[in-house]
Amino acid sequence: MEILDQITRHYNYVITIFLMIAGVYIVVAKSNMIKTLIGLSIFQASVYLLYLSPGKIIGGTPPIIGEGYEVYSNPLPHVLILTAIVVGVATLAVGLALVVRIHEAFGSIEEDEVLRELEHE
């Protein structure tokens, strides 16, 4: 019963960890390169959650200073994650461009097929 209580209090972290291992699982177990990139962005999304969850204060408002509000959530994780999202999309674009180039060169976006092709040469 105490374990159950602990898990509900840490539900954000549990989901964060689930997304994290799902992302890593996709990266490790799938050989399709576009799927791998999607796994990478799921992993990144889990990191966003990991940063934003502790910054929330129950009863707080978004960190925009206004009259009549005393409690604000922590603004620092928001700033860091704002940067991380944009950089994540930039790296995703480069990764997808690489996949397109690999498809032009080898006619396949499956990692093992490309490796076999390379061994034949």
Q: What are phi and psi of 62, to 5 degrees?
A: -55, 150
Which residues are within 8 A (CB) of 85 and not within 5 positions of it... i.e. 6 or more apart? 48
Cα–Cα distance for residue pair 63/36, rounded to 1 Å: 35
Considering only 17, 40, 118, 121, the residue that binds another protein (CB under 8 A) is 17
Considering only 28, 118, 120, 121, the residue that binds another protein (CB under 8 A) is 28
Considering only 93, 114, 118, 120, the residue that binds another protein (CB under 8 A) is 93
List binders of another protein among 96-115 (CB under 8 A). 96-101, 103-104, 108-110, 112-113
Distances (CA, A) of 87 to 56, 81, 95: 23, 10, 12
List binders of another protein among 62-91 (CB under 8 A). 62-66, 71-79, 81-83, 85-87, 89-91
